[in-house]
Structure 1
Amino acid sequence: MTRTFGIQFPGRKLAPLLATAVVASVALLTSLGAHALSADQAFQMAAADDNDQRVEAINKSVQTPDAQLAAYLSALANDEVKTANGKAFIVRGDKAIDPASGAATRLPADAEDVVNSNYLRGVIDAAQAALALGSDDVEARRKAAAQLAEEPDASRVEIIDRALDKEQDARVKTLLERARAASLLTSDDPQQRMQAIGTLTHLKTPETQLLLNQRLTDEQDPAVQKALRRALAEIDDSLVWGERLGQIFSGVSLGSVLLLAALGLAITYGLMGVINMAHGELIMIGAYATYVVQLLFQRWLPEAAFGWYLVAAIPVAFLASALVGAILERGVIRFLYGRPLETLLATFGISLVLQQTVRSVFGAQNVGVENPSWMSGGIALLPNLTLPWNRICIVIFAFLVLGGVAFMIARTRLGLFVRGVTQNRAMASCVGVNTARTDTYAFALGSGIAGLAGCALSQVGNVGPDLGQNYIVDSFLVVVLGGVGQLAGTVYAALGLGVLSKLLEGWTGAVLAKIAVLLFIVIFIQKRPQGIFALKGRSAEA
């Protein structure tokens, strides 16, 4: 019997087993040594002599990934690494951890913080993305592949190739191909750069266009420069239609917003000739009503019901603005009929009162109104054309409101009275129409539509006391250009001005586009004072 450290072992019977175990242990340690994070490697990644050495150490480490490396990169990104005596330590609170073994250790008193520049942080993030390519979560792999394309490095091509061989998701594959080509674009080999240019040209996306443009500024090889210019020209030709369609959709979206903002004004101004400078504040009231409904849903209803708050806010916004409009008409405007200057001044004063009231109740700062989940995201039609769901919903909503107003004007008793009073107030009164009540109903209807505009605007912009001031002038321009009291003219003017503004913005910029649109309206009104659709018959002479 053999005695070792006080423990007895049967020498001859256990010797072969011990030999086998030693060989297996050595093989296992050798295997781990090839893939595990070493102490020297951890130090080089944290405190090399210069940034280039650190970058090289980080990029080399991800070639053989393991769980310890992922944890160490996370610690580097979170500024939880210190160095001392040629070693690196992960420090969390008052505990120090050896990144190579994962075991707790003692932190030397002279340990120094590791400082990461913005460039190094980008390298660390890209290294983490390279490790995430092996994740079981498809979304995590998509995010990682997109990040590698944004931070290309030729040393990661082998990692991307391994991920491409195993990847099954088509979208991740496309992103990985873009990342691989972007990485090859930084290679020292001109042939590899030419290969990358060919791949990126076939993808035809704004991201590949940006990558090629960036490379063109640094490229020295004439042949590669020529290939870059040819590829950029081909991508430009492919993307131009997406840009044009995007401008048209943006114009239609802006036009639908202007339509909602001007539709109520077309009714009140066309019916009674009232220059209502408080119309913008009625839009603001509708937006704040939407905000209040959102708060009620967040506080009193289950989280699953939050997506329906906007549906509930539509009638609330309409009724809130309609009630304020009715009070405004019965309390002030009905005493000022026939005196447009006094009406303008009175409603301007009321607009200031409404703004200050909102500031006193909700505060002077903008309030946050969230999009429901079903209005988030968009439809990707082309590589450079994505139609946001919130804009699509507003366009549909605007035309639904337009259809409802047109039906009300053409098919209901109230609409008949409104048309009668608009065309000949005295004759309508003679046949028994209560013109004063019709004025109140019409003004409340126009105000309620302004509230619907505020509800829609809360989904695409900030909600604050000055919300309505951004749309009051444009609303009057739409009404005057389309023809006073003409719904069809309001539609044509709103959509026309929206599309024209966005097309001009793409050529001249926002400020010059606004000036050009105003000049166009001035010239048009001089040539056709009654707008696009002029009143006909006796009403045109009134």
Structure 2
Amino acid sequence: MNFPWRDVLRVCVALCMSQLWAMPAQALTADQVRAISIGESDARSAAIAQAATSGDAKAPEFFQALLDDSVKTSGERVFVVRDGKAFDAATDTEAPLPPDAEDVVNSNRMRRELEGALASLKLLSPDKAQRAVALKEMRDSADEARLPLIEKAFAAETDAGLKAELALLRAAVLISSADKAKRLDAAKSLADSHQPATKTLLLERLKPDGESEADVRAQLQLSLSAIESRLAWGERLGIVFTGASLGSILLLVALGLAITYGLMGVINMAHGELMMIGAYATYVVQNLFKAHLPGAFDWYIAAAIPAAFLASALVGAAMERSVIRWLYGRPLETLLATWGISLVLMQGVRSVFGAQNVQVENPSWLSGGVAAMSNLTLPFNRIAIIAFAVLVVSGLAFIVARTRLGLFVRGVTQNRPMAACMGVNTAKVDTYAFSLGSGIAGLAGCALSQVGNVGPDLGQGYIVDSFMAVVLGGV
């Protein structure tokens, strides 16, 4: 039986790594604490950089206390206040806070220094997620003073992806080195970067007062071209995705208009206001959940969708019954009448909700997004809108093609007198069809409320585009 050398080797490596992460915590000395907290900005910056480079285990806690404005000084002594109690910053023992103790004031520059130092210290964290966050934070603030810490983190890093990111961070630091060979090597390494911050860094180095060596400038330009080509794809895909999400909303608006205009021949200039009613219905449902069901707020959108549909459908039914029914076959009068109704609806909303835009919040599960590329994030709310539009189109296609209502609508549209002779109540079908188109406009308003402003003039920006979509679509 062979001796399990591989297993023994794995155990040894694991023990070595655990010892690396679990190095005994050093304590900041009293001199270090004073230098970081008291004195001129340049001296404090140097002390912060020195503490960050040392990898002191107590430094992150002290840096965070400074950022939280929890550090006070009295003479040469420095205190950290936690939970109403004062502790000596060097020994971490509880001590009475002198009456003359003053807050440590941190300028914006000092805060940037502290945040950068805190991020650099997180590079040595045993938590992979924390190390990834630290890498992102350091991209904009890393300098050559932190190079030893970056080298130390690079040597200890076991994740291949983070190790590659650390190599790029190291190159970003060395790009400003006094050594030409290091700058040239860094310029070559940065060509593999996918980060917009790297592009900004290269542009800075290519300024007239930046890189002076011709061969290094040439390599910087080559790396910049490679990064720009890579980032351009993210920008193009972002434009396409944004267009698809906004197009999905326009599709829903045009879909409702296709029923009222394409199937019924009614030029409904109040169609945008029906979308506005759907958006305000979403706002009302949101407020009801906030007031009465705060624990279920993340699911208010599930109640807002049918509420938006019903609110717009009922208003549409009232419009058809009271005004539009008497104007079939008279397109000019219908246009003018529905335009007047749109003004009435806008003024009614202003009277009830005010003239200012109202805020509709996204549920937590619709917040954030998927980072598809370094410069491309696909927001969850826009992904949901595209999927929602597909579901609505599929549902409407099923209703029109497979249901009794759809059969009646198609029959009345194609030959109204013959449908009436067959016993179809054409007046009722007209009301149902108009309500369906209005309800779909309300669904568009519900979707739009998740990505845009909700106000009395909401519908005015979509009515012309939706008519163009219907006409160009061949209805």
Match of 1:351 in 2: 342
2:200 and 2:185 map into 1 onto residues whose CA distance is: 17
1:160 and 1:44 map into 2 onto residues whose CA distance is: 23
Match of 1:60 in 2: 50
Task: Determine which of 415, 431, 451 is the counterpart of 2:406.
Answer: 415
Q: Deviations over 1:474-525 (max 9, x none)?
A: 1122122223xx2xxxxxxxxxxxxxxxxxxxxxxxxxxxxxxxxxxxxxxx
Match of 2:113 in 1: 123
Question: Would you say the 8 A contact 1:68–1:100 is kept in 2?
Answer: no
2:383 and 2:235 map into 1 onto residues whose CA distance is: 17
Question: Would you say the 8 A contact 1:278–1:350 is kept in 2?
Answer: yes
2:407 and 2:84 map into 1 onto residues whose CA distance is: 80
Match of 1:198 in 2: 188
1:193 and 1:172 map into 2 onto residues whose CA distance is: 22
Question: Would you say the 8 A contact 1:278–1:351 is kept in 2?
Answer: yes
Kindly report which structure 2 residues correspond to 1:252-331, keeping only aligned pairs within 5 A, or say none: 252-301=244-293, 303=295, 305-331=296-322
Match of 1:479 in 2: 470
1:94 and 1:440 map into 2 onto residues whose CA distance is: 68
Kindly report which structure 2 residues correspond to 1:115-194, keeping only aligned pairs within 5 A, or say none: 115-194=105-184
SS at match of 2:377: strand
2:46 and 2:403 map into 1 onto residues whose CA distance is: 77
Change (3 A) 1:383 1:332: same
Percentage identity across aligned positions?
60
SS at match of 2:249: helix
Q: Which has the larger radius of gyration?
A: 1
Could you tell me which runs of 5 or more consecutive residues in structure 2 were left unpaired when the two chains were aligned: 1-22
CA drift of 1:446 comes to 0.3
2:73 and 2:48 map into 1 onto residues whose CA distance is: 16
Match of 1:36 in 2: 27
CA drift of 1:371 comes to 3.2
1:338 and 1:412 map into 2 onto residues whose CA distance is: 27
Change (3 A) 1:58 1:366: same
Q: Deviations over 1:55-77 (max 9, x none)?
A: 22111111234454333312322
TM-score, normalising length from structure 1? 0.74
Question: Would you say the 8 A contact 2:54–2:149 is kept in 1?
Answer: no
Quick check: 388-397 or 361-370, which moved more?
361-370
Q: Which amino acid aligns with 2:226?
A: E
Change (3 A) 1:67 1:158: closer
CA drift of 1:155 comes to 1.4
1:101 and 1:166 map into 2 onto residues whose CA distance is: 29
1:198 and 1:350 map into 2 onto residues whose CA distance is: 65
Change (3 A) 1:471 1:164: same
1:72 and 1:382 map into 2 onto residues whose CA distance is: 35
1:425 and 1:349 map into 2 onto residues whose CA distance is: 28
Task: Determine which of 66, 71, 74 is the counterpart of 2:61.
Answer: 71
2:334 and 2:411 map into 1 onto residues whose CA distance is: 23
SS at match of 1:187: coil
Task: Determine which of 400, 403, 406 is the counterpart of 2:397.
Answer: 406
CA drift of 1:332 comes to 2.0
1:173 and 1:372 map into 2 onto residues whose CA distance is: 36
CA drift of 1:86 comes to 5.0
Q: Deviations over 1:147-186 (max 9, x none)?
A: 0112111111221222233334455444433333322233
Question: Would you say the 8 A contact 1:146–1:179 is kept in 2?
Answer: no
Q: Deviations over 1:193-252 (max 9, x none)?
A: 223222321133333222322332332333222111010111222333333233222222
Q: Deviations over 1:245-290 (max 9, x none)?
A: 3322222222211111111011101233322222122112222333
TM-score, normalising length from structure 2? 0.84
Q: Which amino acid aligns with 1:129?
A: A
1:188 and 1:119 map into 2 onto residues whose CA distance is: 24
Matched, 1:467 2:461: no
Question: Would you say the 8 A contact 2:280–2:454 is kept in 1?
Answer: yes
2:223 and 2:181 map into 1 onto residues whose CA distance is: 15
Kindly report which structure 2 residues correspond to 1:499-514, keeping only aligned pairs within 5 A, or say none: none
Q: Which amino acid aligns with 2:59?
A: L
2:319 and 2:403 map into 1 onto residues whose CA distance is: 25
